[in-house]
């Protein structure tokens, strides 16, 4: 069982930046994939960014060039840097990881609100 705790969300003006952190209770580098999804009000949860196999990164088209995912294995922490934020980035952001048995774990989520 892996527990994930996100932090770093908040209220930011359009064009601003935030860095989200996700601290894991277990070893991140043993996971098949780690990433961030988000869910806006009235919408389905969607992939934002993911690292698979320790090195392969995938981003949603809507965030490419603005968001960046990274891992600090020594701290068992996953980060999501959010730059050039837009109103449509407002959502609850969820950290998640997939172990080598296909089990996915989720954090409790952190709210990101972008204002004009």
pLDDT at 75: 94
Query: Per residue in 55-79, pLDDT tens?
Result: 899 999 999 999 999 999 999 999 9
Is residue 89 classed as helix, strand or coil in its secondary structure?
helix
Residue 53: its pLDDT value, please? 84
pLDDT for 29 equals 82
Residues 16-56 pLDDT 10s: 999 999 999 988 888 999 999 999 999 999 999 999 987 89
Q: Could you tell me which of 8, 12, 10 has the C-alpha nearest to residue 78?
A: 8
Question: What is the distance of C-alpha 32 from the center of its chain?
Answer: 15
């Amino acid at each position: 069982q892996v527990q994930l705790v996100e932090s770093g969300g908040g209220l930011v003006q359009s064009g601003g930046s935030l860095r989200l952190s996700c601290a894991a209770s277990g070893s991140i580098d043993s996971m098949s994939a780690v990433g961030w999804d988000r869910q806006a009000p009235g919408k389905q949860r969607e992939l934002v960014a993911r690292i698979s196999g320790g090195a392969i990164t995938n981003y949603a088209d809507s965030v490419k060039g603005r968001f960046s995912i990274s891992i600090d294995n020594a701290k068992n922490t996953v980060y999501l840097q959010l730059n050039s934020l837009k109103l449509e980035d407002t959502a609850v952001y969820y950290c998640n990881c997939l172990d080598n048995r296909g089990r996915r774990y989720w954090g409790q989520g952190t709210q990101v609100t972008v204002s004009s």
